[in-house]
Structure 1
Amino acid sequence: MGVADRLEFRLLGPVEVWRGPERLVISSRHQRSVVAALALRPGRVVSVSALVDAVWEEESPPSARRQVIKLVSRLRGVLGDAITTRSSDYVLNVEPDQVDVGVFESSVARARQLSATDPVGAAAAVREALRLWRGPALSGVTPGLAVQATRLEESRLAALEDGVDWELAVGGHAALVAELTVLVTEHPLRERLVGQLMLALNRSGRTTDALEVYRRTHERLAEDLALAPGVELQQLQVAILRDDVTLAAPVSPPAPAPRSSVAVPRQLPCAVAAFTGRASQLEELTGLLDRKDTVVISAINGTAGVGKTALAVHWSHRVADRFPDGQLYVNLRGFDPSGQPVQPAEAIRGFLDALGVPAPRIPAGLAEQAALYRSQLAGRRILVVLDNARDTGQIRPLLPGSARCLTVITSRDHLGGLIVSEGAHAVPLDLMTTAEAHDLLARRLGPERLAAEPHAVSDLIELCAHLPLALSIVAARATLTPVLSLTELSRQLRDVRDRLHALDIGDTSVNLSAVFSWSYRTLSTAAARMFRLLSLHPGPEISVPAAASLTGTDRDRAHAALSELTRAQLLTEPSAGRFAYHDLLRAYSAETAQQEEHEQARHEAMHRMLDHYVHTAHAATLLLNPPNDRLPLTAPEPEAHVEEFTDEEQAWQWFTTERPVFPAAIDRATDAGFDTHAWQIAWSVANFCIRAGHWTQMVTTQLVAIGAAERADDPHGLASSLRELGRAYIRLGRYPDAQASLHRALDLDERLGDLIGQARSYNNLGIVSYAQGAHPEALEHGKAAYALFHKAGHQAGEAEALNAIGWMQTQLGRHADALRSCTRALELHRAVGSRHGEADTWDSLGYAHHNLGEHQQAADCYQTALDLYQKLGSRHPQADTLIRLGDTYHDAGDFHAAQRCWQRALPILDDLRHPDADILRARLAEHPPAP
């Protein structure tokens, strides 16, 4: 098995399984428990009963054995033949060194053997072993493995205590005080740690503090356990009180003689010309120089072309004088077009040559070379720059062991393993800010040229996606062709299909397609396909289910591919489970899709993705408004993923998160010939847009939907889209446009014989008439809508129409009639489960009671409506109800309460940019609360 295929089981922290650089997806706690139970006994038989105990602890269900067998079967799909069956039980066929527990235990055992002759080496070996711990052992599993977790924690503490003993034995007391203070705080009744802290304090001249530690421990044992300290701790206290000479620190060995002739390497590449920006990252790196008594590693990571090497080299030259013993540099070629990264042995050999080690003294094995390399750096202040690293495995042998050295690493990989196990300090490098990008162009082209075409400069920065490499290429193009204006250059770049070619200046080392390809070629087959097909998604971000739909794989495999792309810096993860990339990477992704994916495969991927959005949005809108009409959707493609929601809150959150995707998805659907999908997605998100106040977006999407329905020759879709457009126009106060759309929809509905469509159009026409002050006409529209809904047997529609009728009756002064109409509407809304309809009707009832002078009843009704609107996320109705509730309080003489309601409504209207905001602001100014 090669290194890339080698399985590693990590139990000393969250339970994880890795195959080479890839973390395998093991999604459930029960599966992780089975993995952990098997990995704790590698190569040995584990019975089904033992696995049942590991998963369920005590009360296992009757089906436990069957469930365990299913869990193992699923794990085999991930781990392959690593799990085998032996007499109906199971064996994990891996070596102990493939499990971090085995590595830890064997390392500690060797350290204990070494301690008698080399306590320094033994202590260092234990410290190295303890780096394997990433948190509490066996995290993320079921309680059935609690005993094993406790055993492992005890092993960790015992090893730590041994290591501390060996460090105390060689005079390391001063450096241990801080660590032991924390450990004793965490484990106050662990007497061996307490004694070690007392000894370290005493040897550091802090006898009083040492005795105070004993006193606190004595009190804690007495209070918690009714016990006295053990004999050893009591004897240590007496020895400290007597100033016993046996407690004195050992005499330090003499310092090694200074080297007579030591090579001082100066390997840094040339300083970066015209470097600009990255002030915060430079400051962060410089801050690392102040850290003492620890090996400092800085890992600069970021996407291709973001300027990682430029930053590392520029900073290294700035601080080179702080490293008088030299600077080592190697380009590890982790993402080189040759595909051949530098091997650690080759890099170490180069470093040893630079350090002046004679060739005959350099051993053959990597481990021996690494030990010699670290010995050469011991006690010296050297800066080590490891540029363009592929992964953690390539880096580890090159890390110094001396706290006087500092290592700077650049990589497109996140190097998460290095951060966890080596304590590396991550310096993520993102795209440039607008100001930084402007400075870069100004340094390359001169401020005068930029000042002459400021709009073109802004366009170039955006078209280059703020990527330093792209900006540098643009500057080179402009320099090489001075007759080419920046405006013309931006015009050439604006066509995304030609953007990568427009940024080609004939040098593969700075050609964006080539640079991106170096990362692309390192991907697994699944991740590469994911990268290609992501170009079909309109952005700006994609979820795991949408990505799984694109590739036609399950969610776990899709997430694994997305995670690999993120580690390769070809994607970012702006929020948990959502992924994105910048426009230039999108262009490269589209280029690879065009070259490597057949047209039919691209078409099928687009179909699955659009199915995901239309079916998920349709399910969500029905959950938000249960009596809503259903679309006659065709069944989704088998490998499209439709999300399921258990409540309105989940549906609302999905709409809120995906809202930026909808307009682009509708456009992408029309461009690809999926016209039915286009208008159906627009319809499915319409209710959310109405309630959340995204009316302008709704106009845009419905205009596209109308064109799509016309091309699809779908009169029902056209009528629905026209009706939704009319609703959006109403909210924006564009009443003539609303009337035109609604009348056109009504004509279509009448020709189609669609009673419900006609009723909905009349309902909305009633709202337009009401908004224009034509209340009798609005009432007639409401009655027409009710008659059509009643004829169609549509109770939810009847309820909406009755509420509209009741509202119009209040406008005509018929408040008692309004109460009857709205009470009946409320009953129907409850019968069909329309909470939004209930909220609207409670608001109407409040208005009727208010006009009857029944202020308390009105306030109660408004508050009920407001509570419902808030739960439903309906923003504009909240503002309307708050205003009317304020009017009620004002008329009842409670001016402070009125002001509070109006003030709560104002920011909602301002946020929606609603014209009523200015009217409300004027009212607040005219009616200040009474003193």
Structure 2
Amino acid sequence: MSAHGPRAVSVGGSNPGIIQTGDNASATIVQPTGPAPQALAGLPAAPVGFVGRTDALEQILAFLNPAGRGWPGVVVSAVAGMAGVGKTALTLVAAHQAMTQGWFGVGVFFIDMRSYTPDPGERVSATAAAGQLLRAMGIRDTDLPPTGDEQLGLYQSVLADRAGEGMPVLVVADNAAVSGQVEPLLPAQPCHRLLITSRHTLTLPAHLVDLAVLPEADAVDLLRTALQAGRADPRAGAEPEPVAKIARLCGRLPLALQIIAALLRAEPDRPLAEMAAEMADAQQRLDALDSGDRDQHGRPLAVRAAFDLSYQHLLVDQPEQARLFRMLPLNPGPDISLPAAAALTSAPEPVVRRQLAALARAHLLTIPITGRWSMHDLVRLYADQHGVSPAADDQREQALDRLLYYYLATAEAANDHLQALPGQPVPDHFTGRDDAMAWFDTERANLVAAVTLAQATARHHIAHLLPARLNVYLHWRRALDDLLTVNTIAATASTRLGDRHGEGTALNNLGVALRQVRRFDEAITALQDAATIYPDLGDRHGEGTALNNLGVALRQVRRFDEAITAHQDAATISRQLGDRHSDGLALTNLGLALCEIRRFDEAIIAFKQAKSMFDFTKDDHSRAIVQANLTETERRQAGG
């Protein structure tokens, strides 16, 4: 493609600056072919049907606008994001609007820095870019200095001359990966501008606009708009729920939405619900996001191909980061902490922190909150698939073991804090109960998912032990669905391990959770099974606990006589064991069951005995509850 001569426009200016953006996701960008870079005078076409990005677009235009106030000092405004998020599309829209406003007129130049190509040798250096920009500005080959440094010097001289003539320049440098590629191209004159597209957050001093995936409404809007490109398509209006589902399954990523729209345009009779169902299979989703077409460089127009460019960049330049990238999908929950990532990799935390930060700068990870890292759903699928082949070299199975045991050990320490009585020694992993609760709150999704993953990977020991460390916390948070999930798995895992005691504990906890969600018949069965297991093991305490819980479930289905018997048996066991706290709980529940059938005298005796137990254990909370029950029962006995 031949370069046109320079075009000029007069424009006022504030301070020079750089805006860093990224790759195109919603428009075909005309770029030079062949290994040599080639600058274009002018811009590729702006994307058709551009949707959203209002705030980000305003920020870029404020930077480009010569009448704007800009920012003080040397300004670098960075817009960065993951592959396929639409960074170049946004840049082109902003640059074309700037031209429409007459801010640069015809003094606009475009060059592809080709950093994200499979061949590292195709990456364009700053000196090579300067030479091509000079040619696009009208400098003849015979007038170019022989060395790259000299060409950079001439580039700056030309910009200085144009500034003196009132001819400001906008240079768009597409697909840069490192600051060294573009920093020498930064104009020294305040009337010029340099826009950089990159998947990385470069280390140039910058006002950062981090381009995330589209909000749900904009993603749906983009899919509808792209679906109707070139022809009316009634499917989006007729199938609103599948449209929203497809947008979610695309991860609200513009490139994915454009590809799916192109595929659907090619099959105008295909129901959107059918496409949504195909994409619902996570293992097939990346295959579905392939247009079957190729770009001008012969690369597949597919989400996987876009991710390949970022991944290959890692493999060549940062193999240890590539290994971490492949291993992070092993974490079962939505995000991961630094200690968990360190356990996963068996590397020191400072090393892992640097690697996580680098992956975040490359927009292969996001940081939902400080100290935690997550992956976009499609990136996670991609990374996980790339972890299969090198699984042995990466020691993937051992990494998963380390991660799950980290969650088990830390949950055990946190649970100790939750159950500790005043003055009782506790692990120093947490500063106290509040700290332990905060950790549980943050890791809850990971912990529950870890139990499910342990079951799915036949790690029955973890699936059996971890739920026992979660029960107190989940009960306190009233996370009943999670309680049902982890204790159902725990009961199954204990059976497979032949651990009868673990099975009894899991059934007891499961029964309590079932009762709390009012699935009483299932609760009674689980608790009866638990109460049957414990005597065979000689575990009187477990038997008493199961009987007490069984009595509560029986009372709630109005089987009062059976409930009374269960509570009496539980109280007898506790008394024989000298466990005054459990005795007090059983007597309290016994009193409640007796009240239900108006045996007030016996209920009062039970409540008074329970109160004496809590007086002894100094359990003020339980003592207050039983006192309230006693007062109410005496009132009812008196006919009040």
Q: Within 5 Å, give how 1:465-476 maps onto structure 2.
A: 465-476=251-262
Structure 1 equivalent of residue 313 of structure 2: 522
Letter of the 1:606 counterpart: L
How many Å separate the matches in 1 of 2:428 and 2:260? 43
How many Å separate the matches in 2 of 1:725 and 1:806? 25
Cα deviations by residue, 1:261-316 (Å, 9 ceiling, x for unpaired)? xxx98431122122222222222322332125765433110011111111111221
Q: Contact 2:235/2:271 (CA < 8 Å) preserved in 1? A: no
Letter of the 1:756 counterpart: H
Distance verdict in 2 for CA 1:794–1:525, change over 3 Å: farther
Structure 2 equivalent of residue 615 of structure 1: 409
Cα deviations by residue, 1:88-128 (Å, 9 ceiling, x for unpaired)? xxxxxxxxxxxxxxxxxxxxxxxxxxxxxxxxxxxxxxx99
Letter of the 1:334 counterpart: S
RMSD: 3.0
Mapped pair 1:752 → 2:537 = yes
Structure 2 equivalent of residue 389 of structure 1: 176
Letter of the 1:520 counterpart: Y
Given candidates 274, 286, 291, the residue that maps to 2:69 is: 291
Q: Contact 1:295/1:402 (CA < 8 Å) preserved in 2? A: no
Which consecutive residues of structure 2, in runs of 5 or more, have no partner in the other structure? 1-14, 17-38
Q: Contact 1:335/1:522 (CA < 8 Å) preserved in 2? A: yes
Given candidates 497, 503, 513, the residue that maps to 2:304 is: 513
Q: Contact 1:333/1:342 (CA < 8 Å) preserved in 2? A: yes
How many Å separate the matches in 2 of 1:759 and 1:299? 65
Q: Deviation of residue 596 (structure 1)? A: 1.7
Q: Deviation of residue 692 (structure 1)? A: 0.7
Structure 1 equivalent of residue 274 of structure 2: 488
Q: Contact 1:297/1:407 (CA < 8 Å) preserved in 2? A: no
Distance verdict in 2 for CA 1:362–1:673, change over 3 Å: same
Mapped pair 1:310 → 2:100 = no
How many Å separate the matches in 1 of 2:371 and 2:147? 46
Structure 1 equivalent of residue 418 of structure 2: 624
Q: Deviation of residue 543 (structure 1)? A: 1.3
Mapped pair 1:576 → 2:355 = no
How many Å separate the matches in 1 of 2:237 and 2:325? 39
How many Å separate the matches in 1 of 2:558 and 2:372? 47
Distance verdict in 2 for CA 1:494–1:374, change over 3 Å: same
Q: Judge which range, 568-577 or 385-394, deviates more.
A: 385-394
Mapped pair 1:457 → 2:239 = no
Cα deviations by residue, 1:686-719 (Å, 9 ceiling, x for unpaired)? 1111111111221233223333333333322222
How many Å separate the matches in 1 of 2:595 and 2:269? 72
Q: Contact 1:539/1:664 (CA < 8 Å) preserved in 2? A: yes
Mapped pair 1:531 → 2:313 = no
Structure 2 equivalent of residue 276 of structure 1: 51
How many Å separate the matches in 2 of 1:827 and 1:810? 25
Q: Deviation of residue 824 (structure 1)? A: 2.3
How many Å separate the matches in 2 of 1:655 and 1:377? 61
Q: Deviation of residue 582 (structure 1)? A: 1.7
TM (normalized to structure 1)? Answer: 0.57
Larger Rg: 1
How many Å separate the matches in 2 of 1:361 and 1:425? 35
Given candidates 668, 671, 689, the residue that maps to 2:453 is: 668
> Would you tell me which structure has more helix in proportion to its own residues?
1
Structure 2 equivalent of residue 657 of structure 1: 442
Cα deviations by residue, 1:818-864 (Å, 9 ceiling, x for unpaired)? 34522422432x5xxxxxx65333333344456668xxxxxxxxxxx
Structure 2 equivalent of residue 717 of structure 1: 502
Q: Deviation of residue 482 (structure 1)? A: 3.7
Distance verdict in 2 for CA 1:595–1:469, change over 3 Å: same
Distance verdict in 2 for CA 1:643–1:665, change over 3 Å: farther
How many Å separate the matches in 1 of 2:97 and 2:56? 13
Q: Contact 1:762/1:781 (CA < 8 Å) preserved in 2? A: yes
Given candidates 363, 379, 402, the residue that maps to 2:189 is: 402
Structure 2 equivalent of residue 603 of structure 1: 397
Structure 2 equivalent of residue 220 of structure 1: none
Structure of higher RCO (CA pairs closer than 8 Å, 6+ residues apart) = 2
Structure 1 equivalent of residue 220 of structure 2: 438
How many Å separate the matches in 1 of 2:553 and 2:615? 23
Structure 2 equivalent of residue 428 of structure 1: 210
Structure 2 equivalent of residue 329 of structure 1: 110
How many Å separate the matches in 1 of 2:376 and 2:532? 46
Given candidates 364, 367, 383, the residue that maps to 2:147 is: 364
Q: Contact 1:616/1:643 (CA < 8 Å) preserved in 2? A: no
Q: Deviation of residue 407 (structure 1)? A: 2.9
Distance verdict in 2 for CA 1:774–1:486, change over 3 Å: closer
Mapped pair 1:338 → 2:116 = no
Q: Deviation of residue 673 (structure 1)? A: 0.9
Q: Deviation of residue 493 (structure 1)? A: 2.1
Letter of the 1:578 counterpart: R
How many Å separate the matches in 1 of 2:340 and 2:416? 20
Q: Contact 2:175/2:199 (CA < 8 Å) preserved in 1? A: yes
Q: Deviation of residue 625 (structure 1)? A: 0.9
Q: Deviation of residue 481 (structure 1)? A: 3.6
Letter of the 1:291 counterpart: R
Q: Report the secondary structure of 1:768's partner residue.
A: helix
Q: Report the secondary structure of 1:299's partner residue.
A: strand
How many Å separate the matches in 2 of 1:300 and 1:334? 17
Structure 1 equivalent of residue 22 of structure 2: none
Percent identity (aligned): 31
How many Å separate the matches in 1 of 2:620 and 2:558? 25
Distance verdict in 2 for CA 1:797–1:646, change over 3 Å: farther
Letter of the 1:734 counterpart: R
Q: Contact 2:454/2:462 (CA < 8 Å) preserved in 1? A: yes
Q: Contact 1:803/1:844 (CA < 8 Å) preserved in 2? A: yes
How many Å separate the matches in 2 of 1:674 and 1:401? 61
Alignment: residue pair count:
568
